[in-house]
Amino acid sequence: MSDERFFISESDLRALAADLLATGTEVIAPVAVDACASPAAMASSACMRPGLEPEDLEYRALTDAAELDLARGLPILSLKGYFLPEHEALCRWKQKGIAIEIEAVPTEFAPRVVLAAKPCDSAALAVVDEVMNWDYKDELWNGRRAATTIINLACPVIDESCFCTAVGAAPDAIKGADALLTPVKDGYVLEATTEKGHALVEAHKARLSPAADALTAGADVDRAAARARAAANLEIDAGSVRDWISTHFEDPLLAQLAIRCNGCGACSSVCPTCHCFDIVDEEEGVGRGTRRRCWDSCQASSFTLHASGHNPRDDQHSRYRQRINHKFSIYPLKFGEVLCTGCGRCTRVCHAGQDLVEILQAIDIAARRPDEAEAAAPAADAPSPVAP
Amino acid sequence: MNIYQPQLATVTEVTEETVDTRTLRLEFQDVAVRESFTFKAGQFGEYSVFGAGESTFCIASPPTRPGFIECSFKSVGKVTSALREVNVGDTVGFRGPYGNAFPVDDWKGKDILFVAGGIGLAPVRCVIWNVLDRRDEFGAVTIVYGARSVGDLVYKRELEEWASRSDVRIVTTVDPGGQTEDWTGDVGYVTPVVEKTAPAAANAVAVLCGPPIVVKLTLPVLDKLGFADEAIFTTLENRMKCGLGKCGRCNIGPVYVCKDGPVFTAAQLKALPAEF
């Protein structure tokens, strides 16, 4: 049962989404949106050219199953915001005289389904689960995780910024998700791996048929090809990278790699694993308000600024080093997971040209090179270069 | 109740320590919390004024005095300025206790040297009272405390109380130029005063807290006096938001000040990247 694979036609997949919507279940899926809808985008040259109607892909709550867009690459933002919203209430307060009342926020959420999630985005959720449960349980994160069934879609589009296979993820992985769809002729092969995934399969069995062996074999070939395409972009030894960073904090290479970064923090916003946040109070009239957490970025100088004016990371290279260190060394050492799933969004969004594929390659090369100190000292059992 | 929701506490006492520093005594409004709340010396919390936000300070009162907690802070930013305005009877928020603690129980039978500069006396005061409340368990107690000027000395009444005790040796000092005409303490920076006071380092531990420059300059002096790096304890502060290891800003390399600290030995500090 657990490794049973089904066939679902494209029209039945849309019908499955429609069935879920009909029962009142929220369905989050990639949807094409007008790229020029925001005032900022409207000013861009692409939006001012007549006849061009650029579209972006975003994860949105479907209002109609027809909106489901299954053919394209990565949505602009990851799924992060559906689990750690850009800002969310932690509690509310109300003043009564000099007394204060606190209103708790709910930590249980209505069931929902993510359809056609990118494997790098679901994997990121599993990675961030670790820190959200490090001794103290983040019920807001966990509540949304528990309420959500995620069905991945094996990645149909891999570009030059993708490197999921270099960091332990894959274009056809089910990590962090409950089921996987793999595109085949006229439809998809569907396999469920978790209890939530099996429950969804069971509930929609009428739209599924057993997948023929030839079909699953074809799907497997496509999946392997996609993995090979991603691997061609970057191959590193993540363990060596982790160890090199942890022992080369002051290495000039880490400063060099930050040289183009101007600290805008766009990489953190689009990153599916960046989870750092701020907590602020927002007053809503007199004597009441909401305590909120909101996304923050280690690339901002205010991130670590002490009230005294002292700042432990007071230049951009130390802040960029923190980003690399946290993702590829600190987090793996603490939780055994790289805090990156190789989606490549940070590279695509960076207007300064910081390229994580290039940066990881540089660190990997440095990690493979013997240390100068080690190179200078010949090994004890090495033959003496001078003949006796 | 999620982990970010604070407990409500009533301000029951306000002490103006200096022109910009004050101490608040807080009692939890929930009786069950008030009766069951415990912490260890060195732990910290997130204190909040609703509408201004949260700020991180140590618990400055000792765990040997249950029923309330105290915090001391300098009015510098948004939250501390708001805390400066609260009065007795007002409600504030508190989350905690968080972080590790000074291993006070391991120090039984040992001499203890306390060194503090400025507002750095707040976390040290918690340990001093914790030790003095269990005085018989420890050896000689020496306190070296310095501030920029006489007006900047915090816990003035307690400094007098410690000076009047025969079982405590205390040296109080102010920076050159910070003395008043009737000042009877030392004049000079904390570091040379520690060297001059020269407490015995054999079977002793040192607890050190102050501005980064005081910590940096005093560590070599303690080394010279014979204190091993493992016997020197300090408490670090980094900007924090959650206090729970999630918000991602207080780390020094692989070490999270909120979870792995805030208390570190000098030996641990030396193994960390110089990013604090």
C-alpha B245/C-alpha B261 separation (Å) is 11
Contact: B50, A95; criterion CB under 8 Å: yes
Contact: A326, B76; criterion CB under 8 Å: no
Q: Could you tell me which CATH number the domain at B7-98 has?
A: 2.40.30.10
* Residues of A in Cβ contact (< 8 Å) with B273: 249-250
Residues shown for chain B: 276
Residue A290 identity = T
| DSSP-assigned letters across all residues of B79-104 | HHHHHHH--TT-EEEEEEEES----G
Count of other CB atoms within 10 angstroms of residue B103: 14
Cα nearest neighbour of B255 on chain A: A330
State the pairing for strand pair B255-256/B251-252: antiparallel
Residue A286 identity = V
The H or E element that residue B172 is part of is: strand B169-174
Question: Contact at 8 Å (CB) between A353 and A260?
Answer: yes
Q: Give CB contacts under 8 A, 24+ apart, made by A36-40.
A: none
**Partners of B28 in the β-ladder:** B9
Distance from B84 to chain A by nearest Cα, in Å? 15
Out of A90, A102, A137, name the one closest to residue B8 (CB).
Answer: A102
C-alpha B269/C-alpha A139 separation (Å) is 33
Contact: A250, B273; criterion CB under 8 Å: yes
Question: Contact at 8 Å (CB) between A241 and A168?
Answer: no
Amino acid A388: pLDDT = 38
C-alpha B145/C-alpha B102 separation (Å) is 19
Distance from B56 to chain A by nearest Cα, in Å? 11
Residue A309 identity = G
Question: Is residue B109 within 8 angstroms of chain A, CB to CB?
Answer: no
Contact: B3, A137; criterion CB under 8 Å: yes
pTM of the model: 0.92
Cα nearest neighbour of A274 on chain B: B248
Phi, psi of B145 (to 5 degrees): -130, 130
C-alpha B79/C-alpha B81 separation (Å) is 5
* Residues of B in Cβ contact (< 8 Å) with A322: 251
The number of C-alpha atoms within 13 Å of A300 and in the hemisphere containing its C-beta is: 16
Residue A113 identity = V
Amino acid A34: pLDDT = 82
Amino acid A371: pLDDT = 66
Q: In this structure, is the dihedral angle defined by the CA atoms of residues B194, B199, B203 and B207, taken in order, positive or negative? A: negative
Count of other CB atoms within 10 angstroms of residue A340: 31
* Residues of A in Cβ contact (< 8 Å) with B52: 281
Residues shown for chain A: 388
C-alpha B42/C-alpha A325 separation (Å) is 28
- Residue of B1, B2, B78 to mutate for A, most A C-beta atoms under 10 A: B2
- Residue of A90, A101, A107, A327 to mutate for B, most B C-beta atoms under 10 A: A90
C-alpha A191/C-alpha A176 separation (Å) is 14
Instruction: Kindly state the DSSP code that residue B190 receives in the 8-state scheme.
Output: H
Edge-to-edge strand ranges of the sheet holding A99-104: A99-104, A87-96, A288-295, A277-283
Contact: A276, B237; criterion CB under 8 Å: no
User: So what's the ipTM on this one?
Assistant: 0.93
Phi, psi of B246 (to 5 degrees): -110, -35
- Residue of B28, B246, B250, B272 to mutate for A, most A C-beta atoms under 10 A: B246
Distance from B139 to chain A by nearest Cα, in Å? 36
Taking each helix axis from N to C end, the angle separating B212-225 and B190-197, rounded to the nearest 10 degrees, works out to 20
Question: Tens-digit pLDDT profile for chain A (388 aa)?
Answer: 446 899 999 999 999 999 999 999 999 999 998 877 766 666 666 676 666 666 789 999 999 999 999 988 899 999 999 999 999 999 999 999 889 999 999 999 999 999 999 999 999 999 999 999 999 999 999 999 999 999 999 997 899 999 999 999 999 999 999 999 999 988 999 999 999 999 999 999 999 999 888 888 888 999 999 999 999 999 999 999 999 999 999 999 999 999 999 999 999 999 999 999 999 999 999 899 999 999 999 999 999 999 888 899 999 999 999 999 999 999 999 999 999 999 999 999 999 999 999 999 999 999 998 765 555 555 545 444 444 3
Distance from A307 to chain B by nearest Cα, in Å? 6
CA-to-CA dists, residue A387 to A383, A384, B228, B249, angstroms: 9, 7, 47, 56
3-state secondary structure chain A: CCCCEEEEEHHHHHHHHHHHHHCCCEEEEEEEEECCCCHHHHCCHHHHCCCCCCEEEEEEECCCHHHECCCCCCCCCCCHHHCCCCEEEEEEEEEECCEEEEEECCCCCCCEEEEEECHHHHHHHHHHHHHHCCCCCCHHHHHHHHHEEEEEECCCCCCCCCCHHHHCCCCCCCCCCCEEEEEECCEEEEEECCHHHHHHHHHCHHHCEECCHHHHHHHHHHHHHHHHHHHHHCCCCHHHHHHHHHHCCCCHHHHHCCCCCCCCCHHHHHCCCCCCEEEEEEECCCCEEEEEEEECCCCCHHHCCCCCCCCCCCCHHHHHHHHHHHHHHHHHHHHCCCCCCCCCHHHHHCCCCCCHHHHHHHHHHHHHCCCHHHHHCCCCCCCCCCCC
* Closest among A83, A80, A101 to A92, alpha carbons compared: A101
Instruction: Kindly state the DSSP code that residue B106 receives in the 8-state scheme.
Output: G
Which CATH number, 3.40.50.2000, 3.60.20.30, 2.60.40.10, 3.40.50.80, labels domain B104-235?
A: 3.40.50.80
Question: Contact at 8 Å (CB) between A157 and A72?
Answer: yes
Amino acid A374: pLDDT = 55
Cα nearest neighbour of A335 on chain B: B254
Question: Contact at 8 Å (CB) between B172 and B115?
Answer: no
Question: Contact at 8 Å (CB) between B206 and B180?
Answer: no
| Residues of chain B with confidence (pLDDT) below 50 | none
Domain segments of chain B: what residues?
7-98, 104-235
Cα nearest neighbour of B76 on chain A: A307
Q: In this structure, is the dihedral angle defined by the CA atoms of residues A234, A239, A242 and A243, taken in order, positive or negative? A: negative
